[in-house]
Structure 1
Amino acid sequence: MKLFKRSALALLILPASLMAQAENITVFAAASLQNAVDEITEAYGKIDSKDHIESLYDSSSNLARQIEQGAPADIFISANQSWMNYLEEKNLIDNPTRTNIVKNELALITYKENPTEYKVEFASNEFWKDALAKTHIALGDPDHVPAGLYAKESFEKLGVWKTVEPRVAAAQNVRAALLLVEVKEADLGVVYSSDASVSEKVKTVTTFPADLHEPIEYPIAIMKDRASEPVEGFYKYLLSDDAAAIFKKYGFAAPTK
Structure 2
Amino acid sequence: MDMAMRKTMAAVAACALAGVMAVAAMLAGCATQTQESAGNEELQAQGGSVELQIFAANSLSKALDEVQALYTEAHPDVTFADTQYKASGELVEMLKAGSSADIFISASGAKMDDAAAAGLVDEASRFDMFTNDLVMVTGENNAAIPEGLTLEQAVSGDYTICVGDESVPAGNYACQALASAGAYSDASGKGGAFEGAIADKVVLDTSVGNVCKHAESGDVDIAFVYSSDVYRFGGVKVLSTVPAETHKDIVYPAALTADDANAQAAQAFLDWAANDPAALAVWQKWGFELA
TM-score, with length taken from structure 1: 0.84
Match runs of 1:64-75 below 5 Å: 64-75=92-103
- Alpha-carbon distance in structure 1 between the residues aligned to 2:87 and 2:181: 25
Q: Output the CA distance in 1 between the equivalents of 2:220 and 2:242.
A: 19
Conservation of the 8 A alpha-carbon contact between 1:124 and 1:160: no
Q: Is the 8 A contact 2:157 2:201 kept in 1?
A: no
Q: What fraction of aligned residue pairs are identical, expressed as a percent? A: 28
Which of the residues 46, 52, 55 maps onto 1:25?
52
1: CA distance, partners of 2:244 / 2:276:
25
- Residue in 1 that maps onto 2:177: 154
Indicate which of 272, 275, 279 corresponds to 1:237.
Answer: 272
Letter in 1 for 2:290: A
Which amino acid is 2:53 matched to? T
Q: Secondary structure at the match of 2:288?
A: coil
Please give the alpha-carbon distance, in whole angstroms, between the structure 2 residues aligned to 1:30 and 1:179. 18
Match of 1:121 among 147, 150, 156: 150
- AA partner of residue 47 (structure 1): A
Equivalent position of 2:224 in the other structure = 190
Partner residue, 1:248: 284
Gaps of 5+ in 2: 1-43, 185-194
Is 2:258 the counterpart of 1:224?
A: yes
The SS at the match of 1:46 is helix
Amino acid aligned to 2:84: L
State the SS of the aligned residue for 2:152: coil
Hey, what does 2:30 align to over in structure 1? none
Question: Which runs of structure 2 are paired with 1:1-257 in the superposition (5 Å)?
Answer: 21-54=48-81, 55-118=83-146, 120-124=149-153, 128-132=156-160, 137-141=161-165, 143-161=166-184, 162=195, 163-226=197-260, 227-242=262-277, 243-255=279-291
The letter of the residue matching 1:252 is: F
- Alpha-carbon deviation of 1:181? 1.9
Does the Cα contact within 8 Å between 1:27 and 1:76 map onto a contact in 2? yes
Residue 197 (structure 1) shift: 2.4
| Runs of 4 or more above 4 Å deviation | none
Deviation at 1:186, TM superposition (A): 2.0
Distance verdict in 2 for CA 1:165–1:27, change over 3 Å:
farther
Of residues 224-233 and 66-75 in structure 1, the stretch that sits farther from structure 2 once superposed is 224-233
- When Rg is computed on C-alpha atoms for both structures, the one with the higher figure is 2
Distance in structure 2 (CA, Å) of the matches to 1:253 and 1:176: 23
CA distance in 2, matches of 1:239, 1:23: 20
CA-based RMSD: 1.9
> Equivalent residue of 1:101, what SS?
strand
Q: Is the 8 A contact 2:102 2:263 kept in 1?
A: no
8 Å contact from structure 1 (residues 123, 159) kept in 2: no
Is the Cα–Cα contact under 8 Å of residues 99 and 219 in structure 1 kept in the other structure? yes
**For this pair of structures, how many residues does the alignment match?**
232
Which structure features the higher share of helix residues?
A: 2
Q: 1:254 to 1:232 in 2, by over 3 A?
A: closer
SS of residue paired to 1:86: helix
